[in-house]
């Protein structure tokens, strides 16, 4: 079983092989997803909403993420393990270095940060210190109060151009992967083509290099609401393992997401 690394993911983009990503929070589901062939496991700050029933990701702490990261790593042999940096854990470069080190020690192989241009110094510092970084643009849930809710981002031309520029600057600063959330299909395609690193979409249409879903959304059991971009694979298959296999298959062959699970321009 070939281990997934950042180099493997880059090669997948270059060869136009779609990348499949799911969130995971414990060893048992991590093992199930890993054995099914998932490429990346993300310990998301989404745990605040789907595990604890919060109405946002903001209450999640570094210790919360570290605990679940260790659990996921213990159940994983093949997939790349990525951990979210929670709200205000990277407000300064020094904070970011200290907290990212905790997550790497817990078993993460990459950390994910939300934001654009203001993060460039932090990203450069993390990469210099040997910590791989995944960026996150579009709807960044930690900024939900600034956005005024969970809304599609980048619909007007000025904001779209800013997002493209941010993606390119983040790549130059050293990120090795980028998540785009709740972005119109056409803009997501432009960003995917504007950078050489893998771009993973969630509500960003079919033209990104891969797709990520929150596992609870994929199983239709989220404590809150089901986003438009999510698909209940458990309802379609009636079996957890079959649901995971179908998600991976539909990502790989380009069936997911379709128009019903995207935001058209």
229: domain CATH number is: 3.20.20.60
Q: Which domain holds residue 19?
A: 6-261
Residue 18 domain-assigned?
yes
Closest CA to 254 of 14, 10, 20: 20
The residue count of the chain comes to 265
For residue range 131-141, list pLDDT tens digits in order. Answer: 999 999 998 87
Total domains in the chain come to 1
* pTM score, whole prediction: 0.96
Stated as kind and residue range, the H or E segment containing 226 is none
Residue 74 lies in a domain: yes
Let me know if residue 1 belongs to a domain: no
Tokens of 117: 């241009």
Per DSSP, 56 falls in state S
Contact 232, 226 (CB under 8 A): yes
Residue among 114, 171, 181, 189 flagged as catalytic? 181
The closest of 91, 131, 116 to 172, measured between CA atoms, is 116
181 is known as an active-site residue: yes
Is 109 part of any domain? yes
pLDDT, one tens digit per residue, over 136-174 is 999 887 766 554 555 677 788 999 999 999 999 999 999
The token duo for 212 is 């990520």
The tens digit of pLDDT for each residue in 192-245 reads: 999 999 999 999 999 999 999 999 999 999 866 788 899 999 999 999 999 999
Quick one: CA dihedral 153, 119, 170, 206, positive or negative?
negative
Q: What is the pLDDT of residues 102-116, one digit of tens each?
A: 999 999 999 999 999
């Amino acid at each position: 079983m070939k281990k997934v690394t950042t180099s493997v993911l880059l090669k997948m983009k270059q060869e136009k092989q779609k990348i499949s990503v799911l969130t995971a929070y414990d060893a048992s589901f991590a093992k199930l997803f890993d054995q099914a062939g998932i490429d990346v496991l993300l310990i998301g700050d989404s745990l605040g909403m789907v595990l604890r029933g919060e109405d946002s990701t903001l209450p999640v702490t570094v210790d919360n993420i570290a605990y679940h990261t260790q659990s996921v790593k213990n159940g994983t042999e093949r997939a790349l393990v990525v951990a979210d940096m929670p709200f205000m854990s990277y407000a300064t470069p020094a904070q970011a270095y200290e907290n990212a080190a905790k997550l790497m020690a817990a078993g993460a192989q990459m950390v994910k940060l939300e934001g654009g241009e203001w993060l460039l110094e932090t990203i450069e510092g993390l990469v210099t210190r040997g910590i791989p970084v995944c960026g996150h643009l579009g709807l960044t849930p930690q900024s939900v109060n600034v956005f005024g809710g969970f809304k599609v981002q980048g619909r007007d031309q000025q904001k779209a151009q800013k997002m493209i520029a941010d993606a390119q600057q983040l790549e130059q600063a050293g990120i090795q992967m980028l998540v785009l959330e709740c972005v119109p299909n056409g803009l997501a395609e432009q960003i995917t083509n504007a950078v050489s690193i893998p771009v993973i979409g969630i509500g960003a249409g079919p033209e990104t290099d891969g797709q990520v879903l929150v596992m609870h959304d994929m199983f239709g059991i989220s404590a809150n609401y089901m986003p438009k971009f999510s698909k209940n694979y458990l309802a379609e298959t009636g079996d957890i393992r079959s649901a995971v296999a179908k998600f991976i298959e539909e990502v790989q062959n380009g069936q997911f997401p379709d128009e019903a699970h995207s935001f058209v321009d």
